[in-house]
Structure 1
Amino acid sequence: MTDAVPRVAIVGAGPAGAFAAASLWRMRRDVEVDLFERLPTPWGLLRGGVAPDHQEIKRLDDTFDRETLARGCRFFGNVEVGTDISHEELMRHYSAVIYATGAQTDKSLGIPGEDLPGSWAATEFVAWYNGHPDYRDLVFDLSPQRAVVIGNGNVAADVTRMLVLSPAELERTDVADHALEALRESQVEEVVVLGRRGPAQAAFTSAELRELGRMDGVDVRVDPEEVELDPLSKRWLDVDGTFTARKNVQLLREFAARPEDPDARRRIVLRFLRSPVEIRGDGRVDAVDIRRNQIVQADDGILRPRPADDEIETIDCGLVFRSVGYRAVPLPGVPFDERSYVLPNERGRVLTP
């Protein structure tokens, strides 16, 4: 940066935008920072993505207020780049523009039946129960007794937990009023969580996984055969496995050894090495067909799931939530890599064609 006081625009006022502002101030205390946000309020996923029962994380918004807005950063809400202001206008008025817009949409499964009523992106459900203005008018039919969550990460764990929390537990959170009313009347009794990889490759943090196993009145079931590690996964865990992977396998083995709780009001079933191949239903979801996988070592050395056989297992259900990752979407006037769904960059600097 030059000796003149730099002015920087940050597009996206979520946690990444807040941390970007803090990094700028560490570099130069007099830098002027403006935050632009499509929504009327700042802090993005902290408000709309963190589960309502995780208040210790949501309280970080006070830190962001204190460390960002109180330091003189200007916030411009309800401003969408490409609609209300262009990338070119920002470049004319600022020394630099930082895009911190994140991955705004979910990845699809690419299987038949994915668009049936009753099949949802986990992001839609999460935003709905957090009161996100773009999603609060969605209507989720929670009358089916069984739901299937596809994915083995923390968002899948959040969705699962929200589906089985008791009304009394929900009332102690800051869940949106419309979601609280609907979840109070939910008839969901069982949530089946499908992971296409094995227990050693599960993407849950250990804290999220442990939390599932400590819920009052909820029985967590794991098939002991599905937590037995194949030779490739066992060798990887012994030699290169992370602390989280080792802990997850330990927790899952503990879950598998538990006796069934006949008094539980709801149940979570964790499945591994299972991929959905079709979501079926006549007018709406009524089943998911899944296939068993095996772990193989690909040419790049990475352990990946591959179909083990052609045998199909059918899980009857009335709700499906996919949670298999996210991707960015292009912004008008900003370069975008359509293959990897990112802004093309070199060490963070956006590359222009």
Structure 2
Amino acid sequence: MWKRSCSILPSLKHFHFTASHFSCTPVHFEPTTKICIVGSGPAGFYFAQNVLKKAPDVTIDMLEKLPVPFGLVRYGVAPDHPEVKNVINTFEKVATNKNFKFHGNVTLGRDVKFSELRQAYHAVVLTYGCNEDRELGIPGENLSNVISARKFVGWYNGLPEDKDLEVDLSSETVVVLGQGNVAVDVSRILLSPIDSLKVTDITEYSLQALSLSKVKTVYLVGRRGPLQAAFTIKELREMTKLPGVQTLLQKEHFAGTEELIPNLPRARKRLSELLVATSLKEQEGSRYFRPTFVRKPVEILGHSGSGVVQGVKFEINDIDHEKGITRGTGKHEVNECGLVLRSIGYKGSSVDSDISFDSNRGVVVQQEGVYSAGWIHTGPTGVILSTMSDAYDQSNLLVEDINTKKLNVTNSKPGFSAIEKTLISRGIVTVDFDGWKKIDKVEIQRGTAVGKPREKIVDIAEMLRIGGS
């Protein structure tokens, strides 16, 4: 793009000019680099933050399928962990940047095509996370009241797509399959005193259901041994301090670990020591948290008539504690229960057929002009801190590609002006960041009225009425 920059040098009062009175120099302006980020969770916001810091002339449009931002920080973090949500303060600062725009209620693959984003922007960044569940692949997995932990978390956290999930809490026993932090989160929510949940931002409908819950015992079951448990010491310590709850472990699961524990890496050593100490501790309480090891689920058992879950059949494993290798013994046992929560991991998926995607790994494949970060780049592992690190690394690559001309930004791109026309033609109502703040204000007001930080709006139509533009 070429422009003429003409400066008038003398006073204008005599209206007498000569050619020498004008300095006309051709000035070359690089077109503004336009980037689209799809997904408004930690990966998207940290990516935007770093790009805006290192390439301040770039403009960023962030698209989000929900009307509201923040992804798993809003819908994945446990309601009794409000301190984790403090990262939202950082994200809100990013949103105030004049070169950043948020556009909620825009679903890639449905409301706008990936090819349309490629045409409108110099680069497209995919940070939309992993929205599917890994499955066990065993008989009975589709029985009533066998639920993924991801959906259960979405239910109590107010994720619109999970608000109508049917959760039957009339049984005294729950089996959670998996031993990561999410598995411990759902166990803690099930066993927490209802009064402690009343002051969180847990949804009112789930609070009502939990207040009527008959659950007394939660089994947290894993295939491997205590030295391989995937939860962290912070999560375990919270469970050991939960009022009225005993954390019960079988001493035999620790046989053969005594000589190994002192030589473990520090974090693993501390966790293992706490597990052993807890297994020996006298406790009181009428509810029970039972981490159970070396058990492989082979079948979920149900009532033949009603199709409701009745228990889980496990094969008992042998384990080499040092190598973490298990083998089946051929011996089985059954845990009776009325609810099974499957917490064995998330899975990424392609939301548009034009995205280059590795379906085996569940991650986006890099291609020219397309970047990714977070779980859809790395796979579903790690916490917010590791997501931040990946987002910074990948955004540094984008900035480097701009600086080295590897990414062609010399051609003008329309950016959101083109996408907006497309969305309007398709009847899509969007929510900008000011619209989100309106929703935020209403949620806080409703929460304050009942002694909570907020009462999340779970109906998308209501969100759009409040914040739509």
TM-score computed with the length of structure 2 as normaliser: 0.69
Letter in 1 for 2:234: A
- In 2, are the aligned partners of 1:196 and 1:275 still within 8 Å (CA)? yes
- In 2, are the aligned partners of 1:149 and 1:321 still within 8 Å (CA)? yes
Q: Indicate yes or no: 2:338 matched with 1:318.
A: yes
* SS of the residue 1:286 aligns to: strand
- In 1, are the aligned partners of 2:356 and 2:367 still within 8 Å (CA)? no
Match of 1:225 in 2: 252
Letter in 1 for 2:101: R
Match of 1:248 among 254, 265, 271: 271
Letter in 2 for 1:254: A
Match of 2:83 among 56, 77, 97: 56
Match of 1:336 among 351, 357, 361: 357
Distance 2:48 2:254 in 1: 44
Letter in 1 for 2:345: G
Letter in 2 for 1:223: Q
Match of 1:345 in 2: 366
C-alpha distance 226-3 of structure 1, shift in aligned 2 (>3 A): farther
After TM superposition, list the pairs within 5 Å mapping 1:269-348 onto structure 2.
269-282=290-303, 283-296=307-320, 303-332=323-352, 333-345=354-366
Q: Indicate yes or no: 2:294 matched with 1:268.
A: no
* SS of the residue 1:134 aligns to: helix
Deviation at 1:214, TM superposition (A): 0.7
Distance 1:210 1:190 in 2: 18
Deviation at 1:304, TM superposition (A): 4.7
Letter in 1 for 2:313: D
Distance 1:53 1:14 in 2: 19
Q: Unpaired runs of 5+ in structure 2?
A: 1-28, 378-469
Deviation at 1:4, TM superposition (A): 3.8
Letter in 2 for 1:339: N
C-alpha distance 95-303 of structure 1, shift in aligned 2 (>3 A): farther
Q: Indicate yes or no: 2:96 matched with 1:70.
A: yes
* SS of the residue 2:161 aligns to: coil
Deviation at 1:309, TM superposition (A): 0.5
- In 2, are the aligned partners of 1:50 and 1:57 still within 8 Å (CA)? yes
- In 1, are the aligned partners of 2:228 and 2:324 still within 8 Å (CA)? no
Deviation at 1:260, TM superposition (A): 4.2
Match of 1:20 in 2: 47
Q: Unpaired runs of 5+ in structure 1?
A: none
Deviation at 1:229, TM superposition (A): 4.3
Stretch deviating more after TM superposition (76-85 or 335-344): 335-344
Distance 1:230 1:294 in 2: 13
Report the count of equivalent residues: 339
- In 2, are the aligned partners of 1:196 and 1:305 still within 8 Å (CA)? no
Distance 1:260 1:277 in 2: 32
Deviation at 1:200, TM superposition (A): 1.3
After TM superposition, list the pairs within 5 Å mapping 1:185-204 onto structure 2.
185-204=212-231
Q: Indicate yes or no: 2:56 matched with 1:35.
A: no
- In 2, are the aligned partners of 1:193 and 1:268 still within 8 Å (CA)? yes
* SS of the residue 1:249 aligns to: helix
Distance 1:194 1:272 in 2: 6
Q: Indicate yes or no: 2:160 matched with 1:133.
A: yes
C-alpha distance 349-47 of structure 1, shift in aligned 2 (>3 A): closer
Letter in 1 for 2:364: L
Match of 1:212 among 230, 239, 244: 239
Q: Deviations over 1:283-326 (max 9, x none)?
A: 111011111223359xxxx9454333011011010000011111
Match of 2:147 in 1: 120
Distance 2:367 2:154 in 1: 32
Letter in 1 for 2:339: L
- In 2, are the aligned partners of 1:293 and 1:305 still within 8 Å (CA)? no
Deviation at 1:138, TM superposition (A): 1.1
Percent identity between the aligned chains? 37
Deviation at 1:346, TM superposition (A): 8.0
* SS of the residue 1:162 aligns to: helix
- In 1, are the aligned partners of 2:123 and 2:371 still within 8 Å (CA)? no
- In 2, are the aligned partners of 1:148 and 1:193 still within 8 Å (CA)? yes
Letter in 1 for 2:363: V
Distance 2:204 2:161 in 1: 15
TM-score computed with the length of structure 1 as normaliser: 0.91
- In 2, are the aligned partners of 1:230 and 1:295 still within 8 Å (CA)? no
- In 1, are the aligned partners of 2:76 and 2:154 still within 8 Å (CA)? yes
RMSD: 2.2
Of Structure 1 and Structure 2, the greater helix share is in 2
Letter in 1 for 2:308: R
Structure with higher Rg: it is 2
* SS of the residue 1:29 aligns to: coil
Distance 2:82 2:180 in 1: 19
* SS of the residue 1:71 aligns to: coil
